[in-house]
């Protein structure tokens, strides 16, 4: 029999070699690794030729962890096992077996917990970059809601709903997975439960960011899953883009709080079809009470009553050049790249009020810098790598505050002056700055000047201070 690999300094996805036995199961290949676990493919060792016995083996090592970490892993496994034994539904991944490894000669694996589950083809995350038709999106969202409705009816909250934990089977059907944070509703009238203060930042509802931590954990309610569903609906149609701007999960969390506190509007991507925009907006109501009326059951009813549109069967056309590459793209870059959308605002064609543009020789030059390393050194001027220039540096850097002219890494611009107290911007490398430069646009662009955020250049030219610009209406 194959022995476990020596994982010191190696890729954790190869923790178990092909042929290794886990109870009555045999490892076939490595699939991937997450924060606490590795996942391997497997099959029945008693009937290795049976394709129907293909499984996924989720390995949760406990050796070598600090006591607190080990307790977290054990609690995650306990929740998954308990939930798997008490709940079954066509929209939930089935737990088939649990095994605790005894490998005294291999400390890394000794005591590891293995959860054996039915195997899926891929996750919803893998569909996001390509996009889906409205018909396909409707089918996927319906089945996600079916799984959530079953969970909530049974008195459970998933607690970590996201595209990575929504799996697609060989026949294309949807199943929810990863129940390590599932919470049973045990509070007054079964309206809430308590869970460890864990989860994925991009999918946490606003109230979770400020939730008090008690002896039992943080309070969790079904509306947390509804919020995560709203984010997922938006990402499904907007090719992975979050509705909340920011270059990092923490920055997007801050934007979530701005919205929840009424300091910023909810901005949904224009690629999201109207019916699904309205559904996502309801899921993303800023407070628990406002979200509570939109249950998984009521959302299913709305979807069932929906009238199909002419675009349902259409495959979405190529997205505008600004679409973020995954979740790492900075939000202001995402929104600023809407060159096509920007042309529909008439005021884009006029100059900033009080910009002070002049035909005199500019006092300096400035070179554009792109913090996304994959876009540096390119000469093809790929639209995905283009950067935006703002109309008004005092307003949020969003789609209605962008000029049509695009710039790329290495472009050199004439600069008139520097504004030190504009809207704070965060780039892909998490660099913060409220400084802006007023730059000149080439002739024929329809306006003489625009604004470049200081995080988009490494240059610091000696230029005069800009007067505060008058608001652009």
Ranges assigned E (strand) in 289-403: 364-367
Distance CA 154, CA 16 (A): 36
Domain boundaries along the sequence of the chain: 12-119, 123-305, 326-456
- Tokens standing for residue 131: 């996009």
Rounded to two decimals, the pTM is 0.62
The secondary structure of 166-193 as a DSSP string is EEE-TTS-EEE---TT-EE--SGGG--E
Q: What are phi and psi of 100, to 5 degrees?
A: -105, 120
Q: What are phi and psi of 384, to 5 degrees?
A: -65, -20
Distance CA 373, CA 375 (A): 5
Distance CA 417, CA 128 (A): 41
Distance CA 409, CA 60 (A): 43
Residue in the block written with tokens 């949760």: 60
Per-residue pLDDT of the chain (473 residues; tens, 9 = 90+): 455 544 443 444 457 889 999 998 999 999 887 666 889 999 988 765 555 578 999 998 876 666 667 777 777 788 788 888 777 889 999 988 888 888 888 877 888 889 999 999 999 999 998 889 999 999 999 999 999 999 999 889 999 999 999 999 999 999 999 888 888 888 555 577 766 667 788 999 999 887 666 666 678 899 999 999 999 999 999 999 999 999 888 899 999 999 999 999 999 999 999 999 999 999 999 999 999 999 999 999 999 998 665 445 443 433 333 333 333 343 333 333 333 333 333 333 333 433 444 567 788 899 999 887 778 878 888 877 888 898 988 887 665 677 888 889 999 999 999 998 888 777 766 677 889 999 999 876 678 999 999 989 999 999 999 987 766 54
Q: What is the pLDDT of residue 149?
A: 95
Q: What is the pLDDT of residue 337?
A: 36
User: What b-and-e string marks burial along 279-290, b requiring 16 or more CB atoms within 10 Å of the CB?
Assistant: bbbbbbbbebee
Domain 12-119 bears CATH identifier 3.30.200.20: yes
The secondary structure of 232-296 as a DSSP string is HHHHHHTTT--SS--SSHHHHHHHHHHHHTTSS-----TTS-HHHHHHHHHHT-SSHHHHHTS-H
Distance CA 213, CA 290 (A): 23
Q: What is the pLDDT of residue 324?
A: 37
Run of H or E including 433: strand 432-433
Nearest CA-CA partner of 178 in 72, 321, 34, 7 = 34
C-alpha distance from residue 107 to each of 5, 71, 438 (Å) = 11, 17, 61
Q: What is the pLDDT of residue 255?
A: 94
Please, which residues have CB within 8 angstroms of residue 316's CB and are 6 or more apart in sequence? 131, 132, 133, 134, 237, 271
Give the domain 123-305 fold.
Transferase(Phosphotransferase); domain 1 (1.10.510)
Please, which residues have CB within 8 angstroms of residue 277's CB and are 6 or more apart in sequence? 268
Asked if 433 and 453 count as a contact pair (C-beta separation under 8 A), the reply is yes
């Amino acid at each position: 029999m194959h022995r476990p690999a020596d994982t010191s300094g190696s890729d954790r996805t190869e923790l178990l070699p092909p042929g290794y036995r886990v109870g009555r199961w045999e490892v076939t290949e490595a699939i991937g690794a997450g924060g606490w676990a590795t996942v391997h493919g497997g099959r029945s060792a008693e009937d290795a030729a049976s394709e129907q016995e293909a499984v996924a083996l989720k390995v949760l090592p406990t050796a070598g962890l600090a006591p607190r970490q080990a307790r977290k892993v054990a609690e995650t496994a306990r929740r998954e096992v308990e939930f798997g034994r008490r709940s079954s539904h066509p929209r939930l991944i089935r737990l088939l077996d649990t095994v605790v490894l005894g490998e005294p000669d291999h400390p890394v694996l000794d005591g590891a917990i293995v959860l054996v589950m039915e195997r899926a083809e891929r996750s919803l995350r893998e569909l996001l970059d390509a996009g889906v038709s409205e018909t396909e999106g409707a089918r996927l969202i319906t089945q996600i809601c079916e799984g959530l409705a079953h969970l909530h009816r049974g008195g459970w909250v998933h607690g970590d709903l996201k595209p990575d934990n929504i799996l697609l089977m060989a026949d294309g059907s949807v199943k929810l997975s990863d129940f390590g944070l599932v919470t049973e509703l045990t509070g007054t009238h079964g309206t809430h439960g308590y869970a460890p203060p864990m989860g994925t930042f991009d999918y946490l509802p606003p109230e979770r960011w400020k939730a008090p931590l008690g002896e039992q954990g943080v309070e969790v309610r079904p509306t947390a899953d509804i919020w995560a569903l709203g984010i997922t609906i938006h990402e499904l149609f907007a090719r992975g883009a979050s509705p909340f701007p920011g270059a990092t999960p923490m920055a997007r969390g801050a934007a979530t709080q701005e919205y929840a506190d009424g300091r910023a509007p909810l901005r949904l991507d224009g690629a999201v079809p109207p019916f699904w925009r309205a559904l996502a907006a309801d899921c993303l109501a800023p407070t628990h009470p406002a979200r509570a009326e939109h249950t998984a059951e009521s959302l299913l009813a709305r979807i069932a009553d929906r009238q199909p549109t002419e675009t349902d069967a259409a495959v979405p056309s190529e997205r505008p050049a600004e679409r973020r590459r995954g979740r790492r793209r900075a939000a202001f870059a995402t929104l600023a790249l809407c060159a096509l959308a920007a042309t529909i605002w008439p005021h884009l064609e006029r100059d900033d009020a009080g910009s002070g543009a002049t035909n005199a020789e500019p006092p300096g030059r400035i070179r554009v810098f792109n913090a996304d390393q994959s876009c540096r050194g390119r000469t093809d001027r790929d639209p995905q790598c283009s950067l935006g220039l703002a109309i008004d540096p005092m307003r949020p850097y969003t789609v209605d505050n962008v000029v049509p002219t695009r710039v790329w890494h290495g472009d050199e611009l004439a600069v008139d002056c520097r504004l030190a107290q504009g809207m704070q911007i965060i780039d892909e490398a998490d660099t913060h700055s409220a400084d802006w430069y007023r730059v000149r646009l080439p002739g024929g662009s329809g306006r003489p000047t625009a604004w470049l955020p200081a995080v988009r250049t490494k240059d610091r030219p000696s230029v005069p201070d800009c007067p505060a610009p008058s608001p652009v209406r």
